[in-house]
Structure 1
Amino acid sequence: MSSPTYPPKPAPGDRIAIISPSSGLPGVLPLPYELGLKRLREDFGLEPVEYPATRKMGATPQERADDIHAAFADPTIKAVMATIGGDDQITVLPLLDRELIRAHPKPFFGYSDNTNLLIALRNLGIVGYHGAAVMTELGRPYALHPTTADSVRAALFTSGPYELRPVQRYGDTSRDWADPATFDVEPDAQPAEGWVWHQPERVVEGRSWGGNVEILSWLLMADREIERDCAAYEGSVLFLETSEELPSGEEVFRILRNMGERGLLARFPALLMARAKAWSFEQPNNAESKRRYAVEQREAVLRALATYAPHSMAVFDVDFGHTDPQLVIPYGGLVRVDGPARRITVTY
């Protein structure tokens, strides 16, 4: 396993690029976006710098690629953060100037559809950061979640180990971002039952790989960014999360089954599975429906592991991805999963 390259970290007072590699939603829903920018300035001491396509809905893949290149090439920019996800960042990948990015490595923050850019960075040997989009985590209504803020601050400014810890309460429901009243109220939360461990008899340490399950399935279909020789992932730590589109347990099983048929799943001795996003505006599930959805997803993952990676350890309901609070996972960085001690430590 080659050593990952961690880009130099910014410091308070530095400039951070704000880009929309997927959707230009800041141009349609400015309230959470402007709040996120305000918190970058006031809570983190960074100076956000917008690029031409940041607020542009329907920006072409080339326009978005141009913003990525400009952000990485500018020596005064010390980090790059996505505004939000989307569903077509895969169309930007063929337009990336890989050598430009490799020559100017910077910490990149984003998740969901930004799995595309995170995996491209990993393939260049650059550690990225799965989490902390401007509109979602930094633009959270009412206040930054302290758990999220601590993880983002550590990932932005520090280097070294950071222990992830289970949370006491979590939320996955939302209110209308177009309504100013949304931002006057603390988001709803419910008790969290802690992490669920499967076969925790070993300690695994390796470079992380994964991200959003749906995006990985698209990359596999398009035959992009994922090594055909699965031995390249041997000993890595797999981490997976699902989106507000709420893929069914059966769909998650089929995606993992196909990864297993490719020979991928067996390469990962440990899996971190995020707390399932179980509510959306299209499917406003009640508490019992949310519980059932999460159980079905867990059972689907366990079914795939039983067939294709029967010796792998797994941890469910880890707080990353589409959940509140959100812990940042270094993409391509070191992750240590200590089963006997029930501890997860990442290296920022």
Structure 2
Amino acid sequence: MPIALGGACRLNEAMSEANAPSSPPKLVPGDRVAVLSPSFAAPGFAPAVHEQAMRRLIAATGLVPVEYATTRRLGATPEDRAADINSAFADPSIRAILATIGGDDQITVIPHLDAGLAASNPTIFLGYSDNTNLLNWLWSLGVAGYYGGSTQVHLGAGPHIDAVHLASLTAALFTGGELEIVEPGESEDFGPDWESARALTEFGDREATEPWTWAGPERVVTGRTWGGCFEVVDQLAVAGRLPSLGDLEGTILILESSEEVPPAVWVKRWVRALGERGVLAAVAGVLVARPPVSSHELVPSAEERAQRRAAQRDAVIDEITRYNAEAVVCVGVPFGHTRPQWILPYGGHVRLDALARTVTADFG
């Protein structure tokens, strides 16, 4: 912790740390890792991209990927997907679990998971989007994970693995330590259609990124992370699966929107609801991702894309400030539904330095 923040902040941090998730042990080359589809079985839809992802995973990490019954099975039931997740946690030779992609119904998988298996054999889990469900579930069991990483999107598609993604993947799985989250300077909302041969060799249309926007007081805050995809956090709230406000005291809230490109007014309502619940008042800081604002179906002009990103930025900052003017806020960071993508700790520490305008993640 680089800076003392005063008695109230120290108390909040102590409360958060008392119930803080712990990081599972790191890996070494040669370890076995489960490659699962807890939501949509993207490898069954686009096997060529998946197979390239597995080759790149082996070449870049030396790990041994292990597929399960539903990894490529389109339309697998929640019970069958949960059985694969339970099997991975039950196998002590499986040292990490990598989600192939997200989806939209993982909330139906969670009730079929075995909490005892996951708690007794803590295993690194990487995923984002709909995998907010699994990360939140592990967080509730005291197991930290990583928000980011899709074998299908970030390993298999395109001409190579982005450097910032590989750096954070390596830190999450092997080396740990602190990394400064920096802006790679370009971003894409989506890549070529996976059913096209171009998906294996080309990125999507990338454009220059804007500077991140900081709001709130110029101070330094450090805390354990919690949050995820706006759309999934909303589902968690309706299902009654959010953490208690006491457990969120002093945390860093991470938030991002999906490839469904929700308008700023929806995002405003979601953030406002978090404020009404007391979540925004509890946290020390908020980290918000650069949002996708275009899709295969609709690509607005460059000017309109910039306007849409600015509209979401302004809506988020306005609502956070309304409920917690002392929160340090940074908007525009490349995590979640963007590429290049940084993987971030989920339940691990992130430091927001509003003085130096830096974001630093501790990978355990």
Q: Same fold (TM over 0.5)?
A: yes
- Matches for 1:86-97 after TM superposition, within 5 Å: 86-97=103-114
Contact (CA 8 Å) 1:209, 1:237: kept in 2 or not? yes
Contact (CA 8 Å) 2:223, 2:284: kept in 1 or not? no
1:333 counterpart (314, 330, 348) = 348
For residue 143 of structure 2, give the secondary structure of its aligned residue in structure 1.
coil
- 1:182 has 2:199 as partner: yes
2:122 counterpart (105, 108, 111) = 105
Q: Residue type of the partner of 2:312?
A: Q
2:102 counterpart (70, 85, 90) = 85
Residue ranges of structure 1 left out of the alignment (5+ in a row): none
Q: Residue type of the partner of 1:326?
A: Q
Equivalent in the alignment of 1:241: 256
Contact (CA 8 Å) 1:142, 1:187: kept in 2 or not? no
In structure 2, what is the Cα distance between the partners aligned to 1:5 and 1:313?
24
- 1:155 has 2:179 as partner: no
In structure 2, what is the Cα distance between the partners aligned to 1:11 and 1:118?
23
In structure 2, what is the Cα distance between the partners aligned to 1:340 and 1:217?
32
Equivalent in the alignment of 1:344: 359
1:311 counterpart (294, 317, 326) = 326
- 1:262 has 2:277 as partner: yes
Normalising by structure 2, what TM-score? 0.92
CA root-mean-square deviation: 1.2
- Matches for 1:192-203 after TM superposition, within 5 Å: 192-203=209-220
CA offsets per residue over residues 250-299 of structure 1, 9 Å max, x none?
00011111111111111112110001111111222221221111011011
Contact (CA 8 Å) 2:192, 2:198: kept in 1 or not? no
In structure 2, what is the Cα distance between the partners aligned to 1:195 and 1:166?
9
- Tell me by how many angstroms 1:200 deviates: 4.6
- 1:231 has 2:246 as partner: yes
Contact (CA 8 Å) 2:214, 2:330: kept in 1 or not? yes
Contact (CA 8 Å) 2:148, 2:341: kept in 1 or not? yes
Contact (CA 8 Å) 2:216, 2:325: kept in 1 or not? no
Equivalent in the alignment of 2:3: none
Q: Residue type of the partner of 2:220?
A: V
CA offsets per residue over residues 135-177 of structure 1, 9 Å max, x none?
0111131111112111111111112222211222222232111
In structure 2, what is the Cα distance between the partners aligned to 1:170 and 1:24?
25
In structure 1, what is the Cα distance between the partners aligned to 2:175 and 2:116?
26
- Tell me by how many angstroms 1:311 deviates: 2.0
CA offsets per residue over residues 202-224 of structure 1, 9 Å max, x none?
11111101010100001111112
- Closer, same or farther: CA 293–322 of 1 in aligned 2, 3 Å: same
In structure 1, what is the Cα distance between the partners aligned to 2:199 and 2:86?
35
Contact (CA 8 Å) 2:268, 2:315: kept in 1 or not? yes
Residue ranges of structure 2 left out of the alignment (5+ in a row): 1-16
Percent identical residues: 44
CA offsets per residue over residues 107-139 of structure 1, 9 Å max, x none?
001000000000111111111011111101111
How many residue pairs get aligned? The number is 346
In structure 1, what is the Cα distance between the partners aligned to 2:198 and 2:157?
13
For residue 120 of structure 1, give the secondary structure of its aligned residue in structure 2.
helix
2:152 counterpart (135, 141, 145) = 135
For structure 1, which segment, 243-252 or 140-149, has the greater mean C-alpha deviation from structure 2 after superposition?
140-149
- Tell me by how many angstroms 1:184 deviates: 2.4
For structure 1, which segment, 281-290 or 119-128, has the greater mean C-alpha deviation from structure 2 after superposition?
281-290
For structure 1, which segment, 156-165 or 75-84, has the greater mean C-alpha deviation from structure 2 after superposition?
156-165
Contact (CA 8 Å) 1:200, 1:342: kept in 2 or not? no
In structure 2, what is the Cα distance between the partners aligned to 1:32 and 1:245?
22
- 1:26 has 2:26 as partner: no
- 1:191 has 2:208 as partner: yes
